[in-house]
Each structure stands twice: as structure tokens, then as C-alpha cells.
Structure 1
Amino acid sequence: MNYIQHLNARLVDFYDDDRLHPGHFSLYMALFFYWNLHRFTEEFFANRTELMKMAKIGSKSTYHRLLKELQDFGFIEYRPAKSPHELSMVKLSQNCTDSGTLVGRTRTIFGTYRPKSVPDTLYIKQYKPNKRSLGAKPRSQLEVLDFFKEKKYDLEEAFKFFNHYQAIGWRIGGKVAIKDWKAASDNWMLKAKELAHEKKKKKAANGSDHLITQTEKDYGQPL
């Protein structure tokens, strides 16, 4: 996946498509951003809240209309969830033109003008520490998903972890503020493994296999 080539091709496509308006452009760029965060997987989870915030869309109906239109125009494939237990997924079309055709189309639109060189100092990112840099809470649900993927944790637990602490303001027991959400997620997974083990143990003890006896018998004794 060539990030620059794909993005440039889509911008040229947008230039030629009179059906599109700023809402489509804004939503597509938000989708492209989250696609990049997911390392350009074939499809990825569409978090409506995060996408609406990124695209500056204030209405759910507008959000769904723009998604449908982008799909009808051939830019994305949208698979909505059929139940509260499923995830809505999005796939971005990758049928971009090759680099030679793209360069020719770009020159036709913008000519051969080359801007003057820009001082390197303008590209230096000024880093200013803030509360988020301390890791008190994640920037978004996607950051939690990426962390759980990196640690090879169950992604279902990532949603449970995020929703739980998001609901109580990222505080342990609703009182003490979390200082490191990644450490809290490690503890969450340890607890989840303990609960899963206890559940499995309890199921076995409840007679899931009637041939298993809980007492030892001395088979040396006569009947």
C-alpha cells in the first residue's frame, strides 16, 4: 500500500467528481486517517463517534447519508452492524491509477508549477508535554485497539476496557484517577484471564463430565 500514491489519486478523483461536496471529503479523510492507524488492513472498525468528531459532522443522519453516498460513488464499502454485538466495518477502495497516469492527470489539473523551497524549520514539530503524554488516559478508542493488537490481547476485551473506564471518567473504582492506562489495561487482562480460568474450573466442577468423580476410591478393597 503506497500511502502518498493512494491519497493523491483520491484527491484527483475528488477534483473530477462534481457529485462530492465538503462533507464527503471530510468524512473520507477521516476514514483514510483511521485506515492508516489500522495499518491499511483490508477492512477496519468504523467507530461512528470518533469518525464524526474527526470529520466535524454533528448529525448521525448526515453521517450515515455521507457513508452511503461514498459507497454508491465507489470510494468505500460499508458493512453496518446487524446487531449491538457486531461491529460496523469499512473497506476503502484501492483501485487507484498507476503512478504514471496519476502524474499526467495531476499536471493537467495543476500544471507544472513547482513551489519555492520551504525552510526546514517549518517542518520541525514543536513538542510540548501535556497531560495526555503522561498516559493518564488514551486519546481515543483506536489507540486502545492498537495497543491491544500490539500486545496480542483479545480485541473484545479492548472494547470492554475502554467502555468501562470511559463511563467512569478513567478512575479506578470511580474515585482514584488512573495514572497509566496501559498498565491498567495489563491488569484488566490479567483479571480477565483469571475470570476465564475460574469459569472453566467451575464448569468442570458442576458435572460437565459425569464420568469424573470428586472422591478417590481404593480399588484394593473387596466389593
Structure 2
Amino acid sequence: MNYIKHLTGFFEKVTTDYDLNPTHISLYMAIFQLWNQNRFQNPISISRDELMRISKISSTATYHKCIKELQEREYIQYNPSFNPFKGSTLNVLSLDFYTKPLVKKDIKNFINKEATLLKNSLVNEQLNEQALNKHQTSTKHVPYINNTNTINLANEQIQKNEKLNLKIEEDTNEKETQKKLREKKVIAELGRSGTKQQSIPPDKNEVITYFHEKNAPEIEAEKFYNHFESNGWLVGGKTKMKDWKAAIRNWLLNSQNFNKRPTQNFVGTQKPQPHHLQTATHKNYGEPL
């Protein structure tokens, strides 16, 4: 067995066999390596995992497809065992035919074989085309290729409509999100009373204007502003002020209550005398007790 002639015949056959791809060649070279280790004796026992590892085929389906097509193209003869405890066997078919000079009989057989394969291929293509035309939903007068183009155009239009609808939906969702964010921002700015929170400290002119609205003198506005400006706008010296208008109303109420108290001016007046005891005013201290 001359492996150089065999490989030469393999590559000469592969160059004219357009049904094979690099995966088939890789798998055949892996088989050739195992055949070489077996000293080119047929049959050889093969392992699927080992062949997939050497040929770099990662899919089991691809492996079975390639080995089946190599057998159909008469590169190998595959004998599966269907037994996990017993390996499958394989015969590597001789390809020296492609390296020997062709006689007239061989040339005739080769031409007839290639013509038969080409005829079968054309028949299969016609059957596939007829089967596809049979399942078309358009009229019989329209060629199949036009049907395909029409379907593709319809699919493209459907995809464009889906993209447009998706974009409109995204824009709508974004607008709703922005609206919710604005509502949350407004709610966050509202106090417990439902009114918008006031800036602290307030403007002095706003304080004076609010005192005028309450018919209070401007001097009271000055006292109020100076008092809370000095303590950092803290209520009771501890809690930060939240509503300066409410603080003004409390200020006015407290000032009214304070003005109602009786004032005692001790300047220029006689100090109050303690009450007399329940005894006679003129007591005779000469009387015995």
C-alpha cells in the first residue's frame, strides 16, 4: 500500500467533488491517521470521540453527516456496531484509480459514472423545485423566484412595521417615565400640608409682606426675622424650621397673649405691702398671754 499515491488520488478526487467541504477533508485525514496506525490494514476499529478530537469536529450530528457522505461518495465503507461496548469498523477504499493512467475502458466507465451522478443531481433539483412550487400560496402564473421575492418583500415590510411599533412603544414608555419622575419630584417638594415647601431662610421682603397681610406692624417683622436669623432658623433652638409662615402665625399669637398680661412698672410707685395678719391693729403688749 503506497500511502503517497493514495493521498494523491484522494486530493485529485476531492478537487472535482464539489459536494465535500473542509469538514469532510478533516474527518478523512483523521481516518487516514488511524488507518496509518493500523499499518494500512482493513478493516480498522474506530472511536467516534477520537475521530472528533483529531478532526476538530465538535458536533455529533456533523460527524455522522460527514461520515455518511464520505461513504456515499465511495471514500470509505462504514460499518456501525450500534453497541456501546463494541467499536464500529471501517474500510478505507482504495483511491489509486485516480493516479493510474486511464485506459479507454476506464475513461468510459468514469464518464458514465460522472454523467449518472450529474443526471441524478439534476433530477433531485427538479423534484425539489416542484415540491417547493407546490407549496406556494400565490397564483400558478407567477414563477417561484418571484414568489420568493414577494415573500421576502412582505417579510421586510413586516419587520419594518415591527421596528416602527417598537420604537413608538419605547418613546411612549420614555415619556411616561419622564412624567412619573416629574410627578415624584413635585410630590417630594410638597410638605405634609399639601403646599409646596418654602425656602428657608425666606427673603426678608417676603416676611414683611406676610406681616402686612396679617395686619401686623413692620417692627414685628423685623423682630421675627432678626430673632430666627440669629439662631439659624431653628424652632425652639433645636428643630429646623419647615414653614416660616406658620412660624409667623405662632409669633403673632404669642405676641397677642403676651400683650394681654398686666404689666407692673415699679418705677415711681410704692412697693406692694404684705397682707396683715389676722390680729388687731393696735395690740396691747402689756396684757398677759
Q: TM-score, normalised by structure 2?
A: 0.34
- Which structure shows the higher helix fraction? 2
Q: Which has the higher contact order (CA 8 A, sep 6+)?
A: 1
Q: TM-score, length-normalised on structure 1?
A: 0.44
